[in-house]
């Protein structure tokens, strides 16, 4: 029952980000979204105009081909008439090609503006979520440019290496990708523990507890499971949740009595018991109040 209570506490410890940081920033994001929508509509319109023009070009090319083919059959027609017909077809074709070039240029310009607006809108939205969101977004870009090993163990080792190097947001991106790619692999517990360690290093105890909770609840046989209990106790202690911190230590000793983490847990439990039994310091004796100055003169 006590273990279920601990698991419930760990499950409730989810990730969170700060709320909106001001109406001014929200207004900028709304404006960017509006501009984004407008440019998208203009881009769609330009593409539709281009799509409507291309068949006409094909039609004119067909007319020119027919006109050229008819040169050999038009012995009864005046050469000047044939030249006029061809000239008109060429002019029509040139006009249509000019329209196509205009549409293509407009589409290119709109795509550039749309890309800039989209990037700016994303940056503003991330700014609303706080500095951590910006770091995570930057780490995502770094992860996209990173060469990933095909082997799952090497991939996991890369994430662990980035975490040890202090590149915590990047390590989280890699851990997250690993979890999606090998969702049912026995190493999943180690991936969750590694993810929890990145949060623990940054003193983000709620997020760390969620990851450690996954290890304890779903991957209790993974090598890092005892350490997950110990880390959970530390996190609860930082959150001023003394009873929960002690419970995590007790469950660790019960579940993995021969582990090195259990030895540490027993030491910590002994320290808690010692602090609990230590008597409170006696209050300092009250000092007598000094006599008033008038009384001192009277006695003299």
b vs e for 241-256, b when ≥16 Cβ sit within 10 Å of the residue's Cβ?
Answer: beebbbbbbbbbbebb
Query: Which of the four pLDDT bands, split at 50, 70 and 90, describes residue 18?
Result: very low
Q: Which residue has the higher pLDDT, 241 or 148?
A: 241
User: How much of the chain exceeds pLDDT 70, in percent?
Assistant: 60
Q: Where are the domains of the chain?
A: 23-128, 140-275
CATH number assigned to the domain with residue range 140-275, chosen from the 4 options 2.40.30.110, 1.10.3720.10, 1.10.540.10, 1.25.40.10: 1.25.40.10
- Residue 184 is given by DSSP the state T
pLDDT at residue 95, as a whole number: 77
- Residue 239 is given by DSSP the state T
Query: Which of the four pLDDT bands, split at 50, 70 and 90, describes residue 17?
Result: very low
Tell the CATH topology of 23-128.
Answer: Helix Hairpins (1.10.287)
pTM to 2 decimals?
0.55
Q: Which of 181, 210, 182 is nearest to 198 (CA)?
A: 210
Residues 6+ apart with CB under 8 A from 40: 114
pLDDT tens digit sequence for 198-247: 999 999 999 999 999 999 999 999 999 999 999 999 999 999 999 999 99
What is the rounded average pLDDT of the residues 17-41? 57
Q: Would you state the structure tokens that stand for residue 113, as one six-digit string?
A: 């503006």
Q: Which of 144, 140, 197 is nearest to 169 (CA)?
A: 140
């Amino acid at each position: 029952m006590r273990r279920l209570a601990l698991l419930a506490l760990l499950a409730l410890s989810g990730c969170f980000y700060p709320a909106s940081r001001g109406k001014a920033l929200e207004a900028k994001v709304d404006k960017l979204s509006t501009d984004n929508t407008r440019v998208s509509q203009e881009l769609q319109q330009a593409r539709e105009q281009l799509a409507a023009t291309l068949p006409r070009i094909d039609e004119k090319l067909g007319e020119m081909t027919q006109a050229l083919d008819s040169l050999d059959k038009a012995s009864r027609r005046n050469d000047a008439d044939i030249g006029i017909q061809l000239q008109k077809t060429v002019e029509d074709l040139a006009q249509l090609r000019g329209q196509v070039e205009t549409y293509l240029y407009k589409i290119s310009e709109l795509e550039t503006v749309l890309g800039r607006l989209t990037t700016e809108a994303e940056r503003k939205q991330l700014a609303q979520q706080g500095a951590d969101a910006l770091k995570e977004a930057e780490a995502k870009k770094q992860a996209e440019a990173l060469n990933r090993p095909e082997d799952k163990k090497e991939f996991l080792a890369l994430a662990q290496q980035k975490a040890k190097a202090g590149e915590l947001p990047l390590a989280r991106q890699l851990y997250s990708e690993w979890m999606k790619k090998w969702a049912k692999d026995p190493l999943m517990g180690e991936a969750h523990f590694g993810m929890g360690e990145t949060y623990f290093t940054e003193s983000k105890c709620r997020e760390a507890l969620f990851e450690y909770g996954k290890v304890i609840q779903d991957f209790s046989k993974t090598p890092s499971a005892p350490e997950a209990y110990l880390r959970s106790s530390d996190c609860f202690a930082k959150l001023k949740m003394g009873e929960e911190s002690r419970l995590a230590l007790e469950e660790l000793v019960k579940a993995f009595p021969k582990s090195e983490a259990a030895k540490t847990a027993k030491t910590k439990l002994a320290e808690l018991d010692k602090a609990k039994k230590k008597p409170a310091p006696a209050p300092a004796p009250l000092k007598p109040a000094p006599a008033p100055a008038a009384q001192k003169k009277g006695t003299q």
